[in-house]
Structure 1
């Protein structure tokens, strides 16, 4: 059997940095389609004569379906990350082109809500979880750098969309977005599979000898190793749900996305209602994006510092509490400068939350990280389903945002509490922060077998 070059641990560099760049671009385009769409709500509401809840449901379907598809895209990884992301890019661009021919809001529910959400869901989880294959020691740095793409998307595309709307209308803007999102094919091409050894029978025997030479009870330990591999391969989902700390993380993430989706959709309409020009209102989302980008860059520089290893698990809780507090207060501000400050704080809180939250997920779930990413995004979709329609319904009933923002923002306060419980319950294992060089021969052999199986699943071109 043909063998390829083996690697005992993620390479932590090399081509991996180009994969980080590809993930960064994918996150930027995801933010364009998911969170820079608030400027579309006024023109679509006016053109179709629809209620706010009907229009907001378009983007609610997009965001939530992106999250719901994520676990299944993790299963599809057996066909190769490159193939899955390419298919997702094709579906996304097709949905955007179809949306430019929309004849009703319900048409957009399918063309933009379903197709774009499905396509982005097939891109987001694989392009993020693949970083775990390329990085171990610098996973925090790589994840934070990739997630800065969300801040860039926030910062750049809200005003760009507003300018395109003014110049070409919403139909022309959808066509331009389709052309921009065709760059997802480039992102897919940059994901080069990791080369691993496909173990022959003789190599398996040699590996067993290395393992048993360091064990007092070879049969028992060999059986233990096989059980670990079998569990990781076929029972990953069940293993993750048996981790109680992770259950609190999932519930906290579901509540956190109540605000995340609502921020993207309702800040611009809320500000326009106060008499602020539409272009200035779109710049508030740029403020959120710039602050989020700064926070993510700072996270990239600091998250892997040894002095923060024990305290960084509390950053998601602090971020949620700050985010919820300022989101509740936002509709009561009347001066544009105060709104800018509020948006900057909201962006900072969001920027610190996601890199640290993914590190918490990685710490809690360990070797099941790829499966955990998909499940976390699935639960995030629950908040995305509830948040925008709930906000639109409350606005249609009360005709102001002073009920909408506090109702949704209170979910973040509760989310922070759940994440705090998860952080306090989780006890890091002795090998959490060990590098391959620090492991004993037995631990090193276990990690070698587990990595080979994990990497083989994503090494198909």
Structure 2
């Protein structure tokens, strides 16, 4: 077996490893920001809505994700992702020396470029894996629960040992691994046999420095064409997936940004609060592993129902939970709920949009995730400011979670009545 053959066999694993690492680091930094949130509020003497919105800016680049597909046509996908990794790490380093909330907000804006790179990485999954993309999607998205499991206590340890500025500096150094992972996202030396393998190489035309058609049209024209992509905007099932994306972003914000603060408001110490958040990662990882094994036994729509029911139950239960044990139980089920919704959003995108529009469709889904994330960042902080309690924020999270069940139920009823 020659070297090129060895390269062929190992390259699919490297692709999975690279995308997994990008997903892991993106989610790890997001979780770390959630742990830093109470410290920032005290350090900058700002209200919860301002600090919560600043923390949510790490997802801001989801809102301009429609530039992702044009950029990957003009430049190599790995070049764009590597650039996003550099900017993200630079944002964390800048945040470590922030003298006021304005500088911190700008730092979080830069850190948010990791979201854009992550959208591109997830969008190219069906270009590499044409038959087993649902399994690969579930594997790479296990990076999220593992990041929550590890980075909540690690960030708290960094804060206790080096202070919050030192913690952000270390997080910035760790985030440079994002760039290394992105460098692996290149096509293999030779094309593989599609009859024998579920892996497909990226064609030379999709990974060259320039795409002639898109470059002739111009970057702005290509972006506008993506925004008004009729094949997506008139696709009913895809629009429902977009709604679930927004709801999942709202749920995820409550999980990673406010869960530590909620636990502390109920009398838990910072370490116990970080442990409660870590338990959510266990629930998420458990569900993602189960789905990676049994994906295909049921449709993503049925799993949307299950995830929404779990989310409503979990946030409602956390409203009444006051002990460490009950908070851990609620946290576990919240993690399980997002473990279902978060991964099925991408599978729903792949199945409703198709491979050709995958990057653009993932970017659209990430825009709605960002909308949900930013909305929760502001609204939950605002509810806390006017009430002095996170109880109303939990009620809001439970209400938003029910939108998935309501929308799917209305659509199913419409189909029944229209027959």
CA contact (8 A) 1:158 1:285 kept: yes
Equivalent runs, 1:220-235 vs 2, <5 Å: none
Q: 1:52 aligns with which of 48, 52, 75?
A: 48
Q: 1:139 aligns with which of 128, 133, 141?
A: 133
| Shift in alpha-carbon separation, 1:399–1:363, aligned structure 2, 3 A | same
1:353 paired residue number: 341
1:150 and 2:139 equivalent?
no
Residue 70 (structure 1) shift: 2.5
Q: Give secondary structure in 2 for the equivalent of 1:357.
A: helix
Q: Which runs of 5+ in 1 are unaligned?
A: 6-10, 199-233, 427-461
Distance in 1 (alpha carbons) for counterparts of 2:105 and 2:94: 11
CA contact (8 A) 2:303 2:340 kept: yes
Equivalent runs, 1:306-345 vs 2, <5 Å: 307-308=297-298, 311-345=299-333
2:403 paired residue number: 414
Residue 104 (structure 1) shift: 1.1
Q: 2:65 aligns with which of 64, 70, 73?
A: 70
Equivalent runs, 1:248-397 vs 2, <5 Å: 248-304=240-296, 307-308=297-298, 311-367=299-355, 368-397=357-386
1:96 and 2:92 equivalent?
yes
| Shift in alpha-carbon separation, 1:197–1:123, aligned structure 2, 3 A | closer
User: Could you list the per-position Cα deviations for residues 373-426 of structure 1 after superposition, in whole angstroms to 9, with x for gaps in the alignment?
Assistant: 111111111111211111111111101111111112211101233245668889
| Shift in alpha-carbon separation, 1:372–1:334, aligned structure 2, 3 A | same
Aligned residues: 377
Q: Give secondary structure in 2 for the equivalent of 1:49.
A: coil
CA contact (8 A) 2:23 2:143 kept: yes
| Shift in alpha-carbon separation, 1:422–1:257, aligned structure 2, 3 A | farther
Q: Give secondary structure in 2 for the equivalent of 1:50.
A: coil
2:29 paired residue number: 33
Equivalent runs, 1:440-455 vs 2, <5 Å: none
Q: Give secondary structure in 2 for the equivalent of 1:15.
A: helix
1:129 and 2:118 equivalent?
no
Residue 51 (structure 1) shift: 1.1
Q: 2:231 aligns with which of 239, 262, 287?
A: 239
What TM-score results when the alignment is normalised by the length of structure 2?
0.84
Q: CA RMSD in A?
A: 2.4
Residue 161 (structure 1) shift: 0.3
- Structure 1 stretch displaced more, 36-45 or 153-162: 36-45
Q: 1:87 aligns with which of 77, 83, 103?
A: 83
Residue 346 (structure 1) shift: 0.9
Distance in 1 (alpha carbons) for counterparts of 2:413 and 2:351: 12
Q: Give secondary structure in 1 for the equivalent of 2:142.
A: helix
Q: Which runs of 5+ in 2 are unaligned?
A: 188-200, 206-224
Residue 14 (structure 1) shift: 4.9
Distance in 1 (alpha carbons) for counterparts of 2:407 and 2:346: 15
User: Could you list the per-position Cα deviations for residues 162-218 of structure 1 after superposition, in whole angstroms to 9, with x for gaps in the alignment?
Assistant: 0000011110011100110000111111111236377xxxxxxxxxxxxxxxxxxxx
Distance in 2 (alpha carbons) for counterparts of 1:351 and 1:158: 17
